[in-house]
Structure 1
Amino acid sequence: MPGGAEQFSHDVDRRMALAREWDDLVEQVRAIPGFEDFLQPPRLESLLPAAKGGPVVILNVSRWRCDALIVKADDVLVVELPELRQDAIVARVQNYLDVVTTWQVRALRGVSRDMDATVSSDAVEAALDDCLQWMWDAFAERILDKLEYAGRSTGDDWPRIWWCPTGPLTLLPIHAAGYHRSPGRAVLDRVVSSYTPTLRALLMARDEPPPRPAGSDRMLFVGMPDTPGQEPLPNVDIERELLDEMFGDACTSLVGDGATRDAVLTGLVDHSWAHFACHGEQDLADPSRGGLLVHDGRLTVTDLSSQQYQGAFAYLSGCKTAVGGVHLPDEAITLAAALHYTGYRHVIATLWSVLDDEAAEVAGRVYGDIVHGGVLHAGEAAVALHHAVRALRDRHPGTPSVWTPFTHTGP
């Protein structure tokens, strides 16, 4: 044996000493308030409060079986999903990604807004519609019925639900599942949907935020009407005018060559609210490289995750800002999730490229509902987005590419 018996004995003693030191350090950390569960699976009782605003549905995907874990404030319900199989999910997700890619290629060619012609071909829309119907049949209807959200909701008192998908399902627009030409047979007709990367993330977002610095209740607008290698976004100016009108002097604008990576990262520290009107890109193989295209390059998920903010609301009126990775879908590494994790409690984002007119329309509707007297009420964002998307859906039920992409993450 190299080193002999004496060296071996020394190595064993050293390892045992390090193990004891490790155990002592872990105990010290667990003695700190808030770290009692350090390096331990969280206790169920500590996670249940995440569902105090409504049920959280964790969709578990496995090659053995798939289930929905419905986390309520006082209990967890298990709903078997016999129609949901991992191999079928993988095939559906691949087809969905192919369809989305086709849509984005068409949109980025700068084809006109004619939704019944080249941009939104019947084949693309039919494939998206088929995916939405499959999700309804495979799991969404069964879950909503279990929760007794069985009828079409009306009025102002809509129930809330949080989706926490796992595996390949993280890539799909679960909030839009359904048969949209049959009233009441769609998630949009029964509940207001939000997403959360994890139960713990939602629990943290529900905590009372620390006091924000004086003067930080301001809007940061980041706009790129023209980006090299990308189609122009003429409605950036419309969104900027909208926010200028609503916030006045409390809106800081970084537009064009003023929207640099450093300027944006600096501005995020001093503003509780942020709005990005620019192109986004997603790298499904390496989602941490995805981000927003600003004047001097890409503002990536990694860039945004490098510091903590005390933000209340972020609106990502860009492309592909809520899509995770295809190889590691459970990581849920998206620009929306990155902003959420780093301190922005509410994030509105898009799953894929959106038409400029629809992006501006949804933004106008959302801000019209959540801004009162120059003050943004972030807690109303999910409901506002829900109604804005329903309005688009009701006008264009046969073109899901127009209204499906918009998502809300947060409490």
Structure 2
Amino acid sequence: MAPVDRRMALAREWDDLVARVRGLDGFRDFLRPPPVADLPSPASPDAAVVVNVGRFRCDALLVRDGAVRSVPLPALTAADVADRTARYLRAVGADDGTRDGQDVRDGRDGRDVLAGTLAWLWEAVAEPVLDALGITGPSAAPPRVWWCPTGLLTLLPLHAAGVHDRPGRSVIDRAVSSYTPTLRALGAARAPRTLAPARMLVVAMPRTAGQADLPGAARERALVGEFFPGAHTPLEGPAATRAAVAGALAGHRWAHFCTHGEQNLDRPAEGGLLLADGALTVADIAASTHGGEFAFLSACKTATGGVSLPDEAVTLAAALQYTGYRHVVATLWSVPDAAALWIVDTVYDVLTEGGTFAPDGAAAALHAAARELRAASAPDLSGWVPFAHFGP
């Protein structure tokens, strides 16, 4: 068969297969762009923002009040994104499998790269988007913005974009940020579901074979337990095996992990949480469904995806969302113990201040905690920037 004939035959076979899939219940719109009316559309002043990175142009699609508006981003290019992402990943120690983040915390070059990346994200993406949305300054009740980046931009901290030595010129000064891997995922996260029992699973690994000790893990486990007296299950050290943790997730509505995390930028599904007998991987978590409502991943790189297929959103945070957890707090790189304890303490304090745990306030609680830590640790950015919220 001539090459052109083979291509035509394969194209017909593809069309036939897609038609067969669309004939199945629930797959009518398979591989079709969703109608605007079917997209989750926040009401003003909130908005969802899809940032498209293309070879020829870049735009932001603003989704609000049942409509979609395109905003050109002339200062953003695919080449700049690739270059900035490579330098950022080196600075935070995410490009070579290290987990210490020492470049950012202890190296001036790393800190300069991080600050420069956040300033560039502000000027090229965040500021024009927020200005187009009318979010032009701080407010007592900041609006919500759900970021849905594409391409290599998925690896960068849009929620922390800003010139942080100039008040009001940052995302965190103007809006409460969350991420969603797709707009459909945002809608699915809001859908009703059957929930597991109202208990908190706390997994802590102060020592892990082949890894540096985490002296703050035991303190963090105890701290989280104090917020859930009589309603939490600790799994620590040798007890925190892959089977024990996977089995316990099914019986707990909430989960908190203070462990080492591992990420493979080329094979992100192999990344995971390092437990007593190995890694509980993205693939492991994605293989099950959970009646979860909230997960806090106080482990490094739990919100970092891959470089080969960045649009696939293959992260621990995304895996937990897709398998049933409505709200996920995760990190982009290793976090110092003191910063992690600050964020954890503040988030749970806010979410339990009414006497019961209220995870629907997770985004606002993380926002408040990050602002407090930014003010207390300025000009250091490494403590609060890694934390990100995923969900509605």
Provide the TM-score with structure 2 as the length reference. 0.91
Matched residues in 2 for 1:357 and 1:240: separation? 14
One of 348, 351, 361 as aligned partner of 1:367:
348
Alignment of 1:12-411 (within 5 A): 26-27=22-23, 29=24, 32=25, 35-47=27-39, 49-52=40-43, 54-101=46-93, 108=100, 119-153=105-139, 155=140, 157-207=141-191, 209-213=192-196, 216-372=197-353, 375-411=356-392
- Distance across 2 between alignment mates of 1:19 and 1:293: 43
Q: CA shift at 1:238, angstroms?
A: 1.7
Structure 2 distance, partners of 1:238, 1:362, is 13
Change (3 A) 1:310 1:118: closer
- The Cα shift of 1:211 comes to 3.2
- Please list every run of 5 or more consecutive structure 1 residues that lacks an aligned counterpart in the other structure: 2-11, 112-116
8 Å CA contact 1:322–1:334 kept in 2: the answer is: yes
Q: TM-score, normalised by structure 1?
A: 0.87
Q: Structure 2: any 5+ residue segments left out of the alignment?
A: 2-8
Question: Percent identical across equivalent pairs?
Answer: 48
Partner Cα distance (2:38, 2:28) in 1: 11
* Count of paired positions: 382
8 Å CA contact retained: 1:50, 1:202: no
| Counterpart position of 1:114 | none
Deviations 1:158-197 (A, max 9, x none): 2000000001100000001111010000001000000000
- Which deviates more, 231-240 or 161-170? 231-240
Paired with 1:353 and 1:65, the residues of 2 have a C-alpha distance of 33
Report the secondary structure of 2:288's partner residue.
coil
Per the alignment, residue 6 of structure 1 pairs with none
Larger Rg: 1
Query: After superposition, what is the alpha-carbon deviation per residue over 1:225-255, rounded to whole angstroms, capped at 9, x for unaligned?
Result: 1111111112222222222222112100110
Deviation (angstroms), 1:22: 8.3
Aligned pair in 2 of structure 1 residues 377, 183: CA closer, same or farther (>3 Å)? Answer: same
Deviation at 1:26, TM superposition (A): 3.9
Q: Distance in 2 between matches of 1:397 and 1:141?
A: 21
| Contact 1:362/1:385, CA 8 A, preserved across alignment | yes
**What's the offset of the Cα at 1:403?**
1.6
RMSD of Structure 2 on Structure 1 (CA): 2.6
